[in-house]
Amino acid sequence: MKLAIYPGSFDPVTMGHIDVLKRGLKIFDKIIVAVGEHYAKNYLFSKDERVAMIGEAVKGMPVEVRHFSGMLIDLASKEKANAILRGLRAVSDFDSEFQMAITNRKFSPEIETVFIMTRGMYSYLSSSVVKEVASLGGKLEGMVPPNVEKLLRKKFS
């Protein structure tokens, strides 16, 4: 079975994330969405809320959603993943993603990093943009799954 790990903070998950995930499932039999935390980030949603919102958004897909801490490459090795799946929105994303892929390869050369370019319709979309739009009461249709829109409206009401 071809297994990939799709890591991120997903605060919140966007339709861009879901698009990368669906397209990744054309390559992999199963994907583990690994919801991580970065010490320098302030999150709108708790790790449990993020895991639950993604879980609801991917119902019916061969996807497992879980929280993780520590080094991503350790999780990928433990799960015997074939690859780490990463989405790229713009050229500016590539530098840091490339650096991380090379670092991961140093620790586990058997695990590949697969980059999927976002579709043009999602190239502007980020969790930060979504939170800003939601905080200002803007329309979120097409930006996030419906369950996520409801949670954002609740957070900002």
Reported as a single tens digit per residue, the pLDDT across 27-52 is 999 999 999 988 888 899 999 999 99
State the catalytic residue, choosing from 47, 50, 86, 127: 127
State the catalytic residue, choosing from 47, 50, 86, 89: 89
For residue 30, CA distances in Å to 6, 78, 99 come to: 10, 15, 25
| Residue 78 is among the residues annotated as catalytic for this protein | no
Q: What angle do CA 110, 94, 57 make, to 5 degrees?
A: 80
State the catalytic residue, choosing from 26, 38, 41, 154: 41
Strand pairing report for 63-67 and 3-8: unpaired
Q: Which domains does the chain have, with CATH numbers?
A: 3-155 (3.40.50.620)
| Residue 127 is among the residues annotated as catalytic for this protein | yes
State the catalytic residue, choosing from 17, 47, 50, 86: 17
| Residue 46 is among the residues annotated as catalytic for this protein | no
| Residue 17 is among the residues annotated as catalytic for this protein | yes
Q: Look-up: residue for tokens 């790790």?
A: 47
The pTM (predicted TM-score) of the whole model is: 0.94
Mean pLDDT of 95-103: 92
Query: What percentage of the chain has pLDDT greater than the value 90?
Result: 87
